[in-house]
Every structure is written in structure tokens, then in C-alpha cells.
Amino acid sequence: MAALGVCVLGAGLTACSDDDPEPSGPAASPSATSAAPAYHPFNGGSRGLDNPVLAVKIENTRPALPQSGVRSADIVYVEQVEGGETRLMAIYSSKLPRRLGPVRSARVSDLHILKQYGKPAFAFSGVNPEFKPEIRRAPVFEVSQETGGSAYSRWGPKPIPYNLYASPKALLKRAPKADRPRDIGFRFGPAPAGGKPTKGFTAHWPSATMGFTWSAKEKRWLSTHGGRTNTAAEGGVIGGETVVIQYAKTTRSRYRDVLGAYTPVVHTVGSGRALVLRDGMSYDARWSRPVAGKGTTFTTADGRPMPFAAGQVWVVLVNDGKPFIP
């Protein structure tokens, strides 16, 4: 299975600087509004149940590291882009960091993923001119560098394009009607039976790898990038309580980057296999999303809902088969 390496063994937030996460709004109790769910549908928590949804594209190549604000996301998607590299799309609602980035350009796979979120705010730094009409037609509130004004700034010692950062509060001020959280198919609760003790795992793309190692001390999966510890700009190691390896068909889109390379498109509507990592265990699972406007459900091998651990969720999208080379 070339897209994934799994190591099966016995299982076994630091103080931040000015990037400390801060509430993106007052937490609403389930009784405060009829629309508020019993727990946050993105992370299983009780905070920010009625806060708006913000999606942000963040660079994920070595020159951009360390990243800012990823640790505060509710959900982090890892998508393949041109050249066999990857890029993140981070979803924020329950809390916001003061700064996030480096912010980079959007891709066609983003719009496919975001349709299950209703009409969120969507932040990015640019887009292929041929792809721009699709952004304009998509059910998102665009808060790109082009439209976001002072919400964006150049910061730090890295050169362009790795030094563009954004204030999420300022971004959301430009999208006051962004949708609130809705059910996207995730379920949270105690770990089911049938898991395998798992120490770590590595996902592969043609030019990139990301690993996740279980930390019993921190009770979450700590990530590596290209074999190196994936530290955050605000301190600590980037990682989540649940990591979902979602095997999805990856094909070539009709769009190209400035070097002429075709942009991959990850097909997240449909169904397929998955591997869910939580609590130092791994679970064989299935994913299903029959239509773009509905959420993605995950079930165990015997067809029951696959509950996630409360906390940050990573959805790592890999090709179902060998790593896809466009």
C-alpha cells in the first residue's frame, strides 16, 4: 500500500506568544439558539457552537515552515497540489488565532470540500485566472488577499510568497453573513472496540510525506513534515486528537499552474476506505459522501458510526492506490 506506511506496536498547549488562540465569539449553550448543536460538529467540544466558519489555505512546503495558527483550527485538510507537494486547508470556528499563515492560493479541490460547509468565509492569496470564475460562483464568501485589504500583511523574515499572513478576526469582519457550523458527518464519542494499537503512521505523496506519532503524554498525534518534527510558530508541535486517512481518487484537472503543471483534483464526493487514528489506536473504516452538499460520514468495518476523539481533526487525503503523479 504505497500511499501509507503504518507502524503497529504497543501504544505508548504550551504557552504561546502573541499567537495564542482567543475566542472567536461567546460560546453559545445548546439552549441559547435553536440552531446550535449539542456539541461543536467540527471538534466535539462545547465552545463556539454558533461562531461563523472560516476556511483558510495555508502553505505546507519546507520553505514556509513553521506555520502560524494551524494548532487553533478545528479541522485541517491535507491536499495534494502541483509537483506532488501538499497544501493545507484549515477550518476555524470554535476559536481563532491572532495570526495565521503563510496564506497561499486556492485549488479546485477546496471548492469540492467546502460545499458541505454551507457558505463559509474562504481566505486565500490568489487563484489561477481561468479558475477565478468558479470561485465567484461557489457558495463561499471570498475574503482573499484581493478582497481582504488590511486583513492581510507581510510579516517575518521569509521571502514572498512565504510571508503573507492574515488576521482571522479581520477576515470574518468582511464576511458577516458566513454560515455557522452545521453537521458535516463527524461523530464524537468513546473509542469503539476493534482498534489496533498503533504507534505511528506516515502518508506519502510524490514529493512529500507527513507522519503522525501518538503521544500518550499529550493524548494526541504529533506530526512530522518530511521526517522532521512539525513545530508551530507559536510553540509546540502541530497535530490533532484524531487523524483520518481518507483514500480518495485523485485525477488531473483542466487547470495548470504558472509552470504548466496540471493541478490535481481530489474526488471527495463518493465513497471509499479510510483509516482512523485516535487514542493510540487505528481503525479500518469507510467514508461516504453521496452528494457535494452533504457531509462525509465515517463508519467502522461492521457499519457502525466511527466516533472521533474530541479535539482537532486532521483529514489527510491520499490517492486510493499509488501516489498520484499528474
Residue 84 contacts residue 325 (beta carbons within 8 Å): yes
Q: How far apart are the first and last CA of the chain?
A: 19
Residue type, 209: T
Three-class DSSP category at 289: strand
Cis upstream peptide for 129 (omega within 30°) = no
214-257 per-position pLDDT tens digit = 999 999 999 999 999 999 999 999 999 999 999 999 999 988 87
Which ranges of the chain have pLDDT less than 70? 1-37
Q: Residue 312 and residue 204: Cα distance in Å, rounded?
A: 21
Domain range summary for the chain, segments of one domain joined by +: 1-9+40-321
Please tell me the pTM assigned to this model.
0.89
- Cα–Cα distances in Å, from 201 out to 84, 123, 183, 196, 324? 19, 30, 28, 13, 19
Q: 1-9+40-321 domain in CATH 3.20.20.70? A: no
pLDDT in tens, 148-177: 999 999 999 999 999 999 999 999 999 999
Tell me the C-alpha distance between 116 and 88, whole Å. 17
Spatial distance between the Cα atoms of 165 and 119, rounded to a whole number of angstroms:
23
Q: What would the 3-class secondary structure string for 54-98 be?
A: EEEEEECCHHHCCEECHHHCCEEEEEECHHHCEEEEEEECCEECC
Cα–Cα distance measured from residue 4 to residue 1, given in angstroms and rounded to the nearest whole number: 6
pLDDT given at position 16: 34
The 10 Å CB-count burial string (b at 16+, else e) for 223-253 is bbbeeeebbbbbeebbbbbbbbbbbbebeeb
**Cβ proximity of 305 and 299 under 8 Å:** yes
